[in-house]
Amino acid sequence: MNSALLECGGLTMRFDGLVALDGLDVQVGKGETIGLVGPNGSGKTTFFNVVTGLYTPSAGSVRLGDMDLFAKSPQVIGRSGVARTFQRSRLMLDQSVFDNIVAGALSRLDLGLVTSLFCRARWRAELDAMIDNARSLARRFNPAIADKLFQPAGAFTMIDRRRIEICRALIGTPRLLLLDEPSAGMTHDETRQLMDDLLAFRSEMPDLAVILVEHEMDVIRRVSDRCVVLNFGRKIFEGSFDDLIADAEVQTAYLGGDA
Ligand SMILES: Nc1ncnc2c1ncn2[C@@H]1O[C@H](COP(=O)(O)OP(=O)(O)OP(=O)(O)O)[C@@H](O)[C@H]1O
Ligand SMILES: [Mg+2]
């Protein structure tokens, strides 16, 4: 692994009697893509919610580079360079593609009230830069999205909506991107296209670390440098995809004992 970017130690999340994350140790290197898998309810989304500050962990540590992110607010964590997409789409379908994408950059905009009110030229320049930024990001995924930047997001296909969500996560130039089942609800072909996109922007952003939650093993095989498997909030495996497939405990937990 390259120098560790994200380091979680003993991360624990309890909901009343339920232990959703149970002393989880996870490290992600700069530029590394981790495939995070596990059965339904094993804690994958909870892990993302804890790392991004939506849930306050019960115990453990979370560090990004030299920053302590344990129990920090989503705003602080977002500004420190962690971005995500959600398992269930959170696009504002009646708002434009542009509005949806820049929602991911607002926490980084630091113009201040005085500038916004009185320095109109500077405000306009910031806005133009943001439009350019959103457009070139969208173009990387699909030129048709870039050409319709001010159309409502709801007018696009499922795969394009997912691309817009990924653009929203990327607009703030994160260091760590968390993707929660990006191919959910997509056809086989769309999933393959989306993974082509993922591989393409990964090669353009070699320092970006990615954690990908995905049920489709073929996707995990294709894009992961390393795999982590959860079961009942515990890490039961960490290693290469080939070793994952051969691991008896993983087969029992995740593949129902059928290799
Ligand atoms: N806000 C919450 N309150 C209470 N329990 C929760 C909450 N969020 C998650 N859980 C529980 O924590 C456990 C882990 O859920 P989580 O959503 O993290 O699983 P997952 O691995 O993402 O599953 P899936 O593959 O179905 O998306 C489950 O038992 C779930 O019911
Ligand atoms: Mg989930």
Residue 254: pLDDT above 80?
no
Would you tell me how many other CB atoms lie within 10 Å of the CB of residue 117?
10
Question: Which residue's structure tokens are 């962690």?
Answer: 82
* Strands laid side by side in the 176-180 sheet: 82-84, 176-180, 209-213, 33-37, 226-231, 234-239
Q: How far is the CA of 44 from the centre of ligand 2 (A)?
A: 5
Question: pLDDT tens digits, residue range 102-149?
Answer: 986 765 555 666 666 667 777 788 888 889 999 999 999 999 999 999
Q: Is the CB of 231 under 6 A from ligand 1?
A: no
Considering only residues 170 and 116, tell me which one the structure prediction assigns the higher pLDDT. Answer: 170
Residue 257: pLDDT above 90?
no
Question: Which residue's structure tokens are 């590394």?
Answer: 32
> What was the pLDDT predicted at 114?
64
Residue 250: pLDDT above 80?
yes
Answer whether CATH 2.30.30.100 is correct for domain 1-81+174-259.
Answer: no
> What was the pLDDT predicted at 117?
66
**Mean local confidence (pLDDT), 77-93:** 93
Question: pLDDT tens digits, residue range 57-73?
Answer: 999 999 999 999 999 99
Residue of 46, 50, 212, 230 with the most ligand 1 atoms within 8 Å of its CB, for mutation:
46
User: Which residues are placed with Cβ below 5 angstroms of ligand 2, an ion?
Assistant: 44-45, 87
Residue nearest to atom 7 of ligand 1 (CA): 15
Q: How far is the CA of 47 from the centre of ligand 1 (A)?
A: 9
> What was the pLDDT predicted at 229?
96
> What was the pLDDT predicted at 259?
41
Tokens coding 75: 């705003």
Question: What pTM was computed for the model?
Answer: 0.92
- Taking the C-alpha atoms of residue 57 and residue 67, their distance in angstroms, rounded to an integer, is 16
Atom from ligand 1 closest to the CA of residue 16: 4
* Domain residue extents for the chain: 1-81+174-259, 96-173
Q: Can you tell me whether residue 136 is helix, strand or coil?
A: helix
